[in-house]
Amino acid sequence: MVESADTFPKILLANAKKYGHTKIAIREKDYGIWQSHTWQDYHDQVKDFALGLASLGFKRGDKMAIIGDNRPQLYWGLAAIQSLGGIPVPLYQDAIERELEFIIEHSEARFALVEDQEQSDKLLSLKQKIPAIEYIFYDDPKGMRNYTEPFLMAFTHVQELGRKFGEAHPNHFENEIDKGKAEDLAIICYTSGTTGNPKGVMLHHQAVVDAAKAFVAFENLTDKEEVMAYLPMAWIGDHIFSYGMALVAGFAPNCPEDTSTVVHDTREIGPTFIFCPPRIWENWLTQVMIKMEDAAWVKRRMFHYFMKVAEKVEKIRIANEPVPIGFKFLYQIGRILVYGPLTDNLGMKKVRVAYTAGEAIGPELFEFFRSLGINLKQLYGMTESSALISIQKDGDIDSETVGTPVPGVDIKITENGEVTYKSPGNFIGYYKNEEASQETLVDGYVLSGDAGYITRKGHLKIIDRAKDVSTLTDGTIFAPKYIENKLKFSPFIKEAVAHGQNKDFVTAFIDIDYGAVGNWAERRHIPYTSYTDLAQKPEVYDLVYEAVLRVNKSLSQDEKLKGAQIKRFLLLHKELDPDDGEITRTRKVRRKFVAEKYDNLIDALFTGKENVEVDATFTYEDGRTTTMKANLKIRDAETFN
């Protein structure tokens, strides 16, 4: 691990000198073949692109938007920007034009680096509204042959310009890197914007480098690790794990061929270290359950039997109690017949440590994957902390908490129960938003906006977003995210929104998982024509009702939450969609927006109606909209004492 270098470009120079062509720095699967690049290749690609940018007038302090799937060229572009003292501004690749417009205009980006024709078209359309964009660079030339705009250039063409510029300015690249300082702005990561417009989180090199080094040291990671780079580059998690930690430790991130091939490509690479938000673990659980539904009855019974064994063993291990010899024996048989083949199928056979972060994960989901033998641990962090606050330690796991503070991090709980922290990865403020900066960063501590407390074991337990935690009329604590995560353990439920603030009881909107429920319906010869039609089938309501009962039984065992059991629910007519503004790009529910948009549905749930009419508006990526009408059924649910 590079100790002295204080910026990522300086670390890159050190890695190129240390490893040269002897070690792989990054891979990408293209046309079915893994393409490998050494650290010297990485350095040369970054240098050529950086010098090309310099020849086009890129200056220290300039900002460049980066949009696309995980590609080596986009990571090289990010490093090139930082090498010249510029600031990368990564955006979500599935963002629609109005979302891109706000961030590009707000960040004052003069340049943009995109993956392909799709992203190029978005920016070409936006350039008419944002003339400040001077150049757009693209990686994939497919479909770009007939584009003649002089400001639109291929990544490789910029590199050609860089090589010519380098001949006339032989030391320019290294000199610019030497000018870089730890306190320089390294990146602006925009928040998901659950309550309004996204805010630009400013992180300096020292914060991000220190966070990356802390993670590497905490898990004793080496340059021999293999990781998958598949998460959105706009997310701080990818920036730390696929870029920062890869540079600091010297290991190789691997870019999948396509978002649809991630699981298959993961199996080929066999990562040793993996990082996934809860939605990915939820998707994997759904895939497992769908495959089990399609398996022969013998395999299904064997799977469910040994999973019960594994879950019991994991609960014993989490409690740090000795596992009875009988369970040890059964677990080893299960490893041969079920757990081993399953983890291998998921591409996690070689995983030494796995993280989940970005959102709270349901305890049942967490324990399911740990019971397979995957060393899954919860991490708590935010964009404002460079993802660095607390991590679970090996041998000190609690499925209800997010571990203990990372060395160097100080956590304090305010009188009203809000988590605040001071971290080496702390941000320096929100770009062009001094008011929000002063509200969030107080006396060196960041107000997280999360409600939580420190347990007797010294673990941090997050209850929910502080603004979302409330009470029912009888004083029962109402933590919607906690209830929603329990619901989403079901492979048939993709999303849920619980309601109950200042109400007599709790209700919920539920989004079915169209793939899982569709597979279930087809196996039972239940015909359907669309998502809406399937969601309103009585059989599907019965299926989801079982999941609701399971959650209510679980809540009934918690003295503080037993009064928050779900009494009524409905299945939504459509999936909650970021294009419709209902959830963020990181799949966080925009509660206020949903409450306002579906106020008639909420009213129906609490006033005893048996069904409710709804007019739905759908937004396509190109901005077009369409509407539909639906009649949604409302179901009462049994509660338990």
pLDDT tens sequence across 9-64: 999 999 999 999 999 999 999 989 999 999 999 999 999 999 999 999 999 999 99
Which residue in the block uniquely carries the two structure tokens 């320096």?
A: 428
Mean pLDDT of 603-618: 86
Please state, as a whole number, how many other Cβ atoms lie within 10 Å of the Cβ of residue 542. Answer: 10
| Segments in 464-530 forming alpha helices (H) | 480-487, 514-523
pLDDT at 422: 95
Is 599:607 a contact under the CB 8 Å cutoff? Answer: no
pLDDT over 70 (residue 150): yes
Closest to 39 in 3D by CA, of 23, 28, 27, 59: 23
Tell me the HSE value of 355 on the side-chain side, using a 13 A CA sphere: 26
pLDDT digits (tens, 9 = 90+) for 309-345: 999 999 999 888 999 999 999 999 999 999 999 999 8
pLDDT digits (tens, 9 = 90+) for 379-402: 999 999 999 899 999 989 988 899
pLDDT at 298: 92
Rounded-to-integer distance, Cα 397 and Cα 405, Å: 13
Question: Given this structure, which CATH class describes domain 8-266?
Answer: alpha beta
* Confidence band of 585 (pLDDT split at 50, 70, 90): confident
The lowest-confidence range among 358-367, 392-401, 551-560 is 358-367
* Confidence band of 2 (pLDDT split at 50, 70, 90): low
- Structural domain spans, the chain: 8-266, 278-425+459-465, 470-636
Torsion (CA) 170, 172, 174, 177 in degrees, nearest 10: -170
Closest to 47 in 3D by CA, of 454, 243, 55: 55
pLDDT at 622: 58
Rounded-to-integer distance, Cα 189 and Cα 19, Å: 30
**Is 323 exposed, middle or buried (CB count within 10 Å of its CB: 0-12, 13-18, 19+)?**
middle
The pTM score is 0.86
* Confidence band of 357 (pLDDT split at 50, 70, 90): confident
pLDDT at 629: 82
**Is 319 exposed, middle or buried (CB count within 10 Å of its CB: 0-12, 13-18, 19+)?**
exposed
Is 507:568 a contact under the CB 8 Å cutoff? Answer: yes
pLDDT digits (tens, 9 = 90+) for 567-580: 999 999 999 988 88
Mean pLDDT of 161-174: 96
pLDDT digits (tens, 9 = 90+) for 276-309: 888 889 888 888 988 888 888 899 999 999 999 9
Residue 449: CB partners within 8 Å, gap ≥ 6? Answer: 418, 465, 466, 467
pLDDT at 583: 87
Closest to 389 in 3D by CA, of 464, 462, 282: 462
pLDDT at 306: 96
* Confidence band of 621 (pLDDT split at 50, 70, 90): low
Beta bridge partners, 451, equal 418, 464
- Residue 58 φ then ψ, to 5°: -65, 130
pLDDT over 60 (residue 476): yes
For 21, which DSSP code?
Answer: T
State both tokens at 328: 């040890």
pLDDT digits (tens, 9 = 90+) for 201-219: 999 999 999 999 999 999 9
Superfamily of domain 470-636: ANL, C-terminal domain (3.30.300.30)
Q: How far is CA 480 from CA 362, 466, 497, 581, in A?
A: 12, 11, 7, 19
Which residue in the block uniquely carries the two structure tokens 């065992």?
A: 557
Mean residue pLDDT of the chain comes to 92
Please state, as a whole number, how many other Cβ atoms lie within 10 Å of the Cβ of residue 326. Answer: 9
Q: How far is CA 620 from CA 95, 138, 501, 579, 580, in A?
A: 11, 24, 32, 7, 8
Residue 551 identity? V
pLDDT at 587: 77
Which residue in the block uniquely carries the two structure tokens 């749930």?
A: 605
